[in-house]
Amino acid sequence: MAAAPPSSIDPRSGFCSTNGVYYRLHSPPPLPPDSLPLSIASYALSLLPCPPPPNPAIIFSTSSSSPSITFPLLISQVSSLASELRSHLRISKGDVVYILAPTSLEIPILYIALLSIGAVVCPSNPLSTPDEIAHQVSLTNPSVAFTNAYFAAKLPSHLATVHLKSPLFRSFLEPGAPAPSLPTVEMSQYDPGDILYSSGTTGRVKGLIITHPNFITVIAAYYASREAWSLEDGPYVTLFTIPLFHVFGFFVLLRSVALGVTTVLMEKVDLEAILRAVHAHRVKVIPVSPPLVLALAKSDLVSKFDLSSLRRVGSGGAHLGRELAELFTARFPSVAIYQVSYGLMESTGSAASQLGPEECLVFESVGRISAGLEAKIVDPATGEVLPPGRQGELWLRGPVIMKGYIGDDEATASTLDSEGWLKTGDLCYFDQDGFLFIVDRLKELIKYKAYQVPPAELEKILLSHPKIADAAVIPYPNEEAGQIPMAFVIRRPQSTFTEKQIIDFVAKQVSPYKKIRRVAFVSSIPKSAAGKILRRELVKYALSSPRSKL
Averaged over 55-60, what is the pLDDT? Answer: 94
Q: What is the mean pLDDT of the chain?
A: 88
Question: Please, which pLDDT band fits residue 182 given cuts at 50, 70 and 90?
Answer: low
Averaged over 397-421, what is the pLDDT? Answer: 94
Backbone angles phi, psi at 353, to 5 degrees: -155, 160
In degrees, rounded to 5, the angle at the alpha carbon of residue 125 between the alpha carbons of residues 120 and 479 is 135
Question: Please, which pLDDT band fits residue 233 given cuts at 50, 70 and 90?
Answer: low
Question: Please, which pLDDT band fits residue 99 given cuts at 50, 70 and 90?
Answer: very high
What is the DSSP secondary structure assignment for residue 342, as one 8-state letter?
B
Question: What pLDDT shows up at residue 201?
Answer: 44
Cite the beta strand spans of 156-218 per DSSP E: 161-163, 192-199, 205-211
Is residue 378 within 8 Å of residue 367, measured between CB atoms? no
Rounded to 10°, the helix 322-331/290-298 angle is 40
Question: What pLDDT shows up at residue 4?
Answer: 53
Question: Please, which pLDDT band fits residue 230 given cuts at 50, 70 and 90?
Answer: low
Question: What pLDDT shows up at residue 410?
Answer: 92
257/516 Cα distance (integer angstroms): 38
Question: Please, which pLDDT band fits residue 69 given cuts at 50, 70 and 90?
Answer: very high
Question: What pLDDT shows up at residue 509?
Answer: 93
Burial-class residue 509 by CB neighbours within 10 Å (0-12, 13-18, 19+).
middle
Contacts of 312 (CB under 8 A, 6+ apart): 229, 284, 285, 286, 335, 336, 337, 338
In degrees, rounded to 5, the angle at the alpha carbon of residue 474 between the alpha carbons of residues 203 and 200 is 20
- Write out pLDDT tens, residues 344-388: 889 998 899 877 777 777 877 888 998 779 999 999 889 999 999
Which string of DSSP letters, residue by residue, matches 240-265? --S-TTSHHHHHHHHHHHHHT-EEEE
What does R_g of the chain's alpha carbons equal in angstroms?
24
Exposure class string for 362-377: b at 16+ Cβ within 10 A, else e: bbebbbbbbbbbbbbb
Q: In this model, does residue 158 exceed pLDDT 90?
A: yes
List beta partners, residue 467: none
419 or 199: which carries more pLDDT confidence? 419
69 or 188: which carries more pLDDT confidence? 69
What is the DSSP secondary structure assignment for residue 192, as one 8-state letter?
E
Edge-to-edge strand order for the sheet containing 56-61? 68-70, 56-61, 262-266, 237-239, 285-288, 312-315, 336-339
For the chain, what percent of residues have pLDDT higher than 70?
A: 91
Question: Please, which pLDDT band fits residue 424 given cuts at 50, 70 and 90?
Answer: very high
- Write out pLDDT tens, residues 73-90: 999 999 999 999 999 999
Which string of DSSP letters, residue by residue, matches 41-106? HHHHHHTS-SSPPSSEEEEEE-SS---EEEHHHHHHHHHHHHHHHHHTS---TT-EEEEE--S-SH
Q: In this model, does residue 41 exceed pLDDT 50?
A: yes
Question: What pLDDT shows up at residue 272?
Answer: 92
- Write out pLDDT tens, residues 117-146: 999 999 999 988 899 899 999 999 999 999
Question: What pLDDT shows up at residue 252?
Answer: 85
In degrees, rounded to 5, the angle at the alpha carbon of residue 313 between the alpha carbons of residues 274 and 243 is 55
For the chain, what percent of residues have pLDDT higher than 90?
A: 56
222 or 412: which carries more pLDDT confidence? 412
Question: Please, which pLDDT band fits residue 199 given cuts at 50, 70 and 90?
Answer: low
Question: Please, which pLDDT band fits residue 549 given cuts at 50, 70 and 90?
Answer: very low
- Write out pLDDT tens, residues 467-500: 998 899 999 999 889 899 999 999 988 888 999 9
Q: In this model, does residue 166 exceed pLDDT 90?
A: yes
Can you give the pTM of this predicted structure? 0.82
What class is the 446-549 domain?
alpha beta
Question: Please, which pLDDT band fits residue 528 given cuts at 50, 70 and 90?
Answer: low
27 or 74: which carries more pLDDT confidence? 74
Is residue 59 within 8 Å of residue 281, measured between CB atoms? yes
